Amino acid sequence: MARRSDHSRDELYRLATVAARKIVETRGIEALTARSVADAIGYSPGTLYNVFDNFEALIVRLNGSTLDKLHDELSAIPRMGRPAQDLRALLAAYLGFQEANPNLWTALFGYSLAPGHPLPDWYTAKVERVLGLVEAALEPLFAPGEREDLGNAARILWASVHGICSLSLTGKLRTVTTQSLEEMTETLMACFVYSLETVNAGRPGAYMSAQQLEA
């Protein structure tokens, strides 16, 4: 077994993160333990706790790198300034990411931190970067002073797509519909954009919250 002095703290940090990613990619989040990571890098489990504050911190770092990967793939999609077209392209890339990385996707969205382990600010910033791409695609549908409404709409849309994807990944989508994942998400996207374009005929593109619609 390698001695702790064989690698610096930064090197161990990178080794552990890479090992964790490989374990999750090939065996799933259930196989990720301090022992499995330590064995993969040739150190004792105790060494990991000299590098990470706790095991939760390693998982957060792994998921943070997955968010970076997702952002990089989505941000590479050219924007045309046409919401329906831009969202459709983002959707295709998002579904492709899920299909290519099912275990990383599950670890990212299916793992819950233990109580007392809040997400760090740097992680929240990574989430915001991804959501910012959805906001950018929806932006033409909103007036300059509607930033809050734009942000809310982007999160509602993303959460809706995420729910359909989650049902599909767990094999439960077919219990509620005969439509495919692609068909359902395409329909959702089209209806969402159409509603934003037409909800206020006097001001095309205006966004109205549920409270406003009920008023």
44 inside domain = yes
pLDDT tens digits, residue range 154-206? 999 999 999 998 888 888 888 888 888 899 999 999 999 988 887 644 454 45
Output the pLDDT for position 213.
45
Instruction: Give the Cα separation of 62 and 55 in Å (integer).
Output: 11
33 inside domain = yes
Contact yes or no for 73/97 (Cβ under 8 A)? yes
CATH number of the domain residue 132 falls in: 1.10.357.10
pTM for the whole structure: 0.84
CATH number of the domain residue 46 falls in: 1.10.10.60
**13, 154, 182 from 40: Cα distances, Å:** 13, 40, 37
Contact yes or no for 73/133 (Cβ under 8 A)? no
213 inside domain = no
Please tell me whether residues 98 and 135 are part of one structural domain: yes
Share of the chain above pLDDT 90, in %: 55
* Phi and psi based region of residue 158 (left: phi greater than 0; alpha: psi -120 to 50; beta: remaining): alpha
Please tell me whether residues 168 and 110 are part of one structural domain: yes
Place 3 in a pLDDT band, splitting at 50, 70 and 90: very low
**Cα–chain center distance at 58:** 17
214 inside domain = no
Please tell me whether residues 77 and 125 are part of one structural domain: yes
Range of the domain at 170: 63-208
How many domains would you assign to the chain?
Answer: 2
11 inside domain = yes
205: DSSP letter: T
The answer to whether residue 33 scores a pLDDT higher than 60 is: yes
57 inside domain = no
Please tell me whether residues 13 and 75 are part of one structural domain: no
Mean pLDDT of the region 138-152: 90
